Structure 1
Amino acid sequence: MTSLVPLPTALEIRQHNAITTARYEMTACEMDIVFYLLSLLKKEDNIGTFYRVKVTELQQLTGRQWNYQQFFDATSALRSREYIIKNEKERRTLQVGLLASAEYLHGQGVIELEVSEKMRPYLIDLKRNFTSFRLQAAFNLSSKYAKRVYQMASQWKDKPSITYSLHDFKVMLNLKDPEGKEPEQYSKVSMLQRKVLDVAVQQINQHTDLQLRYELLKKGRAFESVRFFIQAQLPEQLPLPFEQPLDEAREQKARQHLRDLDIKDAGLVGRILSNQDLVNDLFGFVYKLKTGKIKATTNAGGLFLKTAGLLKK
C-alpha cells in the first residue's frame, strides 16, 4: 500500500556519506528537487511511499523560478542519471538512479516522486555514517558547484580542514572521468579556481552556516591537491524552522521577510501577520523581488506597503 508524505518537518537534510562522495552531475534545478525530496524522507517510511513536491513551495523557498520544461527535464534526468557508489570493503560497485518514478499532477502544481529502493538505504540509514546540512542554506546556493562543495564540507564540518587530491575532487564534481574516456573540464588550475572554487567559497560563506577558505597544494612544481578549512558560523539567512508547526514556521518566515524589507513598525507588522491575504501578498512580493519580476533599487519595503494598500494617503 502506498502513502503520501506532506511538507518537510525536519530541520536538517541528512545524507549518507556514500552519496555525498559518489560521482554524479546535477543541474541546479535537479539539486533543488533533490534537497526538497531529502527533507521529506523519514526512516519509518514504507516501501512505495510517494513524496509530494509542491512547485510553488519550492520556488518560494529558493527564490528561483523554474518553468515546467525545466522541472520535466530535471526529473527525467534524475530518473536516468546514475550514482556510482563503491564499497571497497565488500568489493562491490553500485550503479543506481535516484528516482523510480516521477508523476506530474497537472492543475495542482505537484510532482509525486518515488525513490529507487536500491537508493533508499543510503538516504534513510542514518545511524552512523551521514552528512547533515541545512535545507535553507542548500537552497540559497545558486551555483551547482557551490551546492556540491557545501555537501562535501558539511560531511567534515566537525574537523578543522579536509584535503582532496585534485583528481578526486574533480571526479566527485564530475569534472573528470576517472577512466579518462571523456575530456577533463577546467584542466588549468586557474580556471578551476575562477569557475568552481572561488564561486563556491564565496556563496557558501555568504549564505550558509559554514565559513570556508581553501589553499592549493603543490607536489614539485604542479598543483596536486586542495585543502578546505572549515569553520561554523551563524548563517545570515534564518534557516527554515521545519521542526515547528507549519503555521508557526510560516509566521516566522514572514517576520524575517518583513525585517529584510525594513518594515519594523509594530502596528504594521501585526496587521500583516494577522491577515493571511497580506501574508500571501508578502510571500508573493518577495518571490517576485528575488526573481526580478519586481524592480526596487531603493525602499523595497515601501513598495510592498504601497502595493498591499497599507500606506496612508
Structure 2
Amino acid sequence: MKPEDTAVVVVEPAPVPVVRQHNAITQARYDYTACQLDIFFYLLSRLRRDDTPDQEYTIYVKDVEALTGRQWNYQQLREATADMGSRMFEVENERTYQQLWMFQRVEYIKGKGCLQIQLAAPIRPFLFNLKENFTSYQLHSALKLSSKYAKRIYQLVSQWKDKASTRTYPLDEFKQMLHLKDPKGKEPELFQNISQLKARVLDIAVRQVSEHTDLKIDYELVKKGRAYDAVRFTIARQHPQQLPIPFEQPAEDARAFAARQHLDTLGITQPQLVATILGDPKHLDQLFKFTYQLKTDKVKATKNPGGLFLKICGLR
C-alpha cells in the first residue's frame, strides 16, 4: 500500500453535537472518482441498523445508472472498487489509532449486472454515523451531483445543515480533504491560483448543490493580510424539487418507486399500462435504459417520449 493512500483523522476528545461529530469518512483526505462516489453513496443508502455484521449488499448497476444518469461498465466498476478497497483510513484519539479499510469482500455476479459487497466490520460504525447526517432525499441528491468536488462539499455542508454556515476551513486543510494538496508534498498541488480553485471547484459545487439538493449554499473566502487563507460555506434549506427515492424500503420496492417516477415523467399514467410495465422485468430494464438514453441525448424524442417508449416495448 502506498503511504500517500493513508488518510489521517484526529478525533477531538471534547463532545460535540451529533450532527457534527468528527467522522472519519467525511473528514478524511481521499480522492474518490465520480464512479467511486456513486458506489459509496448508493452503498450508504442501503445500510440498516438491523443489518447483520456479515450483511451482503447487492448493487444493481442499472439502478445506479438510472439514479445518476451516468453509465458505468464492469471494468470501470472493478477498478473503482479495487482502489476503494485499498484505501486506508486512520482514526486517532488520545489513546489509540485505528487503521481501517472499507471492504471485506466484493463479488461481481457474471451475467446479472450486479455486485455484492461485504463491509469490513470495524468501519461499519463510522458509516452508520455518517448516514445519520443524511436523509433519503439527500442521498438521492448526492447521486445526482456529477462533480466529485460537489459530492464531497455536499458531505461537508450537510454536517452543518442546522446552522447558517459551516466552520471556517483553512485552505490547506480544505484542499487536503479534497485531495487537491498532498500534506507530505509528494504530489503537485492542484488549483494553486485562487481563481482556478473558484472556477474548477467552488463555483461548480455551489451551482450543483444549490440546483439539485435540499440545500442552497454559497462560499466566502477569508483573507489573512493580502492573501486568501480560508473558506467557509453559508447554508440555507430549500424545498426539494423532486421526490426522494425511498431507500428505507427493500431494494425491489425502491426500484419500482424509481420506475413509477420515470413513467410519470414520460406521461405514462394509465393504470393498466403502468401495471404491465412494472410487472415485466424486461419492460423495467427497457425503461431504465430508455430514461438514461433520453437524458444523455442518445434518443431524440422531444414531442412524445412516452409514446416512443411504449412503441419500443411493443405496447403501442
- Structure-2-length-normalised TM-score: 0.82
The answer to whether structure 1 residue 57 and structure 2 residue 58 are counterparts is no
Distance 2:246 2:219 in 1: 31
Q: CA offsets, 1:143-179, max 9 Å, x none?
A: 1111111111111111100121111111111111223
1:257 paired residue among 253, 262, 287: 262
Aligned 8 A contact 2:217 2:233 in 1 = yes
Where structure 1 has 5 or more consecutive residues not aligned to the other structure, the ranges are: 1-14
User: Between Structure 1 and Structure 2, which shows a larger proportion of helix residues?
Assistant: 2
Correspondences of 1:1-313 after superposition (within 5 Å) = 17-87=23-93, 90=94, 92-124=96-128, 130-133=132-135, 134-162=138-166, 163-244=168-249, 249-250=254-255, 252-261=257-266, 263=267, 268-276=269-277, 277=280, 281-308=286-313
Aligned 8 A contact 2:45 2:247 in 1 = no
Distance 1:228 1:298, change over 3 A: farther
Aligned 8 A contact 2:23 2:129 in 1 = no
Aligned 8 A contact 2:171 2:230 in 1 = yes
Distance 2:263 2:275 in 1: 13
The equivalent residue for 2:11 is: none
Distance 1:16 1:217 in 2: 23
Q: What SS class does the counterpart of residue 122 from structure 2 fall into?
A: coil
Aligned 8 A contact 2:62 2:288 in 1 = no
Q: RMSD between aligned alpha carbons? A: 2.6
Cα drift, residue 270 of structure 1: 2.2
Aligned residues: 290
Q: What SS class does the counterpart of residue 262 from structure 2 fall into?
A: helix
Cα drift, residue 123 of structure 1: 1.7
Where structure 2 has 5 or more consecutive residues not aligned to the other structure, the ranges are: 1-20
Greater CA drift, 282-291 or 194-203: 282-291
Aligned 8 A contact 2:221 2:232 in 1 = yes
Cα drift, residue 203 of structure 1: 0.9
Aligned 8 A contact 1:43 1:125 in 2 = no
Q: What SS class does the counterpart of residue 146 from structure 1 fall into?
A: helix
- Structure-1-length-normalised TM-score: 0.82
Aligned 8 A contact 1:164 1:226 in 2 = yes
